[in-house]
Amino acid sequence: MKAPAVDYVRPRSLTEAVEFLAQAGSEARVIAGGQSLLAMMNLRVASPGLLIDIARLPELTAMADDDDAVTLGACVTHAAIEDGRVADPSRGLMPRVAASLGYRAIRTRGTIGGSLALSDPAAEWPAVLAALEGEVIVRGPGGRRALKCTEFTTGIFETQLSVAEIIEGVRVPKLAADARWGYLKLCRKTGEFASALAVAVADPGSGHSRVVSGAANGAPLVLEDTSRLVAEDHRDPEALRSAIAADLDRASDRHFDEFQRNLHTVVVLRAVRQVLA
């Protein structure tokens, strides 16, 4: 189908974009790559009154590479991350994830900020950035604030972003040289949304280890017991299985059926094995 009628503005600065959003309120939608929003509009699932196009704002496509972290502007595309056109704080994890995301024609336009703002439960970035201890930097009428990626996504298509706020960027701490990661996305066709995905990061230097399940019927699911075993370099498959089982048991609000439970268990085990290999 075709998108419904809509108004369109292209602000010249982030401040102006926030002003437009504050004026229009929930009638307006911010559009960056539009790779989900335009599909939803074409399907008439979304019918905003106003589109605020932020894709070309220089302050949102910028990147900062500091000693301990890389900050990516919200409108950095998946393709830019895939191609290594921006600094990589994650020792290869983020380019690997970007390359697994949708199709090239989607990745050239879709953005990391857009993925976070929508927080599709099956999306890659909310889970991966939670595993990397990233922070979402958000700009609103009241100024700027930073939110932990582990807390930013609160549910299915739900985030802490308030009506008049726009994601400015994401700050990702750098992994140490001896850090390791594992990533597995399970989907039946290359480029599809995941049926299950898992990210495992182990950074022995900082003591930070985290295993996160994505496509988990809600916000990314941090697997606490499993993360602890990874931090301890625990390799016994039975111990890992029971840790994953305990973590999934605790997530009773996700209502996994037996099939999903098995899928998540297998995917997490494989991602963890990549880390411990």
Element (H or E) spanning 184, and its range? strand 180-186
Nearer to another protein, 55 or 93 (CB): 55
Which residue bears the tokens 């830019």? 80
189 is a site residue for another protein (CB under 8 A) = yes
Alpha carbons 125 and 87: distance in angstroms, whole number: 16
In the structure encoding, which two tokens stand for residue 158, read together?
């739900």
Contact call for residue 4 and another protein (CB under 8 A): yes
Q: Which helix (H) or strand (E) holds 271?
A: helix 258-276
**Reduced to 3 states, what is the DSSP secondary structure of residue 229?**
helix
Residue showing tokens 């999903």 = 260
64 in contact with another protein (CB under 8 A): no
One residue of 30, 51, 222, 229 binding another protein per CB under 8 A: 51
CA 119 to chain centre: 7
Report d(CA 115, CA 101) in Å as an integer: 11
Q: In this chain, which stretch among 49-57, 127-135, 141-149, 230-238 interacts with another protein, using CB under 8 A?
A: 49-57
- In a 10 Å sphere around its CB, with 0-12 CB exposed, 13-18 middle and 19+ buried, how is residue 108 labelled? middle
In whole angstroms, the minimum distance from the beta carbon of 103 to another protein comes to 3
Binding of another protein at residue 259 (CB under 8 A)? no
Q: Which one of the spans 3-11, 176-184, 196-204, 247-255 is the region binding another protein (CB under 8 A)?
A: 3-11
Smallest distance from the beta carbon of 8 to another protein, in angstroms?
Answer: 3
Q: Per-residue x/- marks for another protein, 84-113, CB under 8 A?
A: ------------------xxxxx-xx----
191 in contact with another protein (CB under 8 A): yes
> Does 60 help bind another protein (rule: CB under 8 A)?
no
The identity of residue 159, as a single letter, is T
Instruction: Tell me the C-alpha distance between 43 and 104, whole Å.
Output: 22
Instruction: Please report whether residue 148 would count as binding another protein according to CB under 8 A.
Output: no
Among residues 14, 18, 28, 41, the one that binds another protein under rule CB under 8 A: 41
Q: Nearer Cβ to another protein, position 78 or 180?
A: 78
Tell me which H or E stretch contains 68: none
Residues that bind another protein (CB under 8 A): 1-8, 10, 31, 34-35, 38-39, 41-43, 51, 53, 55, 79, 102-106, 108-109, 189-191
